[in-house]
Amino acid sequence: MPTTGVFNGTNLVLQVEGNEIGHTTSCSLSLSNDLPEATTKDSNGYAEHIAGVISGELSFDGLVAYDDTTNAIQLNDFINARTQITCVFGTTTTGDAIYTAEGFLNNVETSAEMESPVSYSGSITLTGAITKSTN
């Protein structure tokens, strides 16, 4: 049964190559539509635009655990190998919407402050079609 009402952000996950990115503390999907200007003399002084190229980006933050199936080291390996990856963003609840796309990691940062957990963050630039389906 699909999720109803306001729900806990913990239920929203990011998967890469079929595995959830381990120990994430946040993840987000950003979609944008380039809107080229189409103003002419016939526009009566008002700006007009047309729908252009759609693009997307996934971003994430988490805590490093080297024993996670998908961890900061593996994400760095994807960058070094210039690997195109399959990403899924959504919940694991049957009936909920999920977004699936191919993409490339454009950055992964690992931070280690004294007396704090080691953390990581990164982003994935999507390439090609972004499809919406349900679990």
Using pLDDT thresholds of 50, 70 and 90, give the confidence band for residue 1.
Answer: confident
Using pLDDT thresholds of 50, 70 and 90, give the confidence band for residue 56.
Answer: very high
Could you read off the pLDDT of 81-125 as tens digits, one per residue? 999 999 999 999 999 999 999 999 999 999 999 999 999 999 999
Q: Is residue 8 part of a domain?
A: no
Could you read off the pLDDT of 4-39 as tens digits, one per residue? 999 999 999 999 999 999 999 999 999 999 999 999
What gap in Å lies between CA 91 and CA 82, rounded to an integer? 27
Q: Is residue 104 part of a domain?
A: yes
Q: Is residue 112 part of a domain?
A: yes
65 touches 23 (CB < 8 A): yes
Domain of 102? 13-35+51-134
CATH (domain of 68): 2.40.30
Structural domain count, the chain: 1
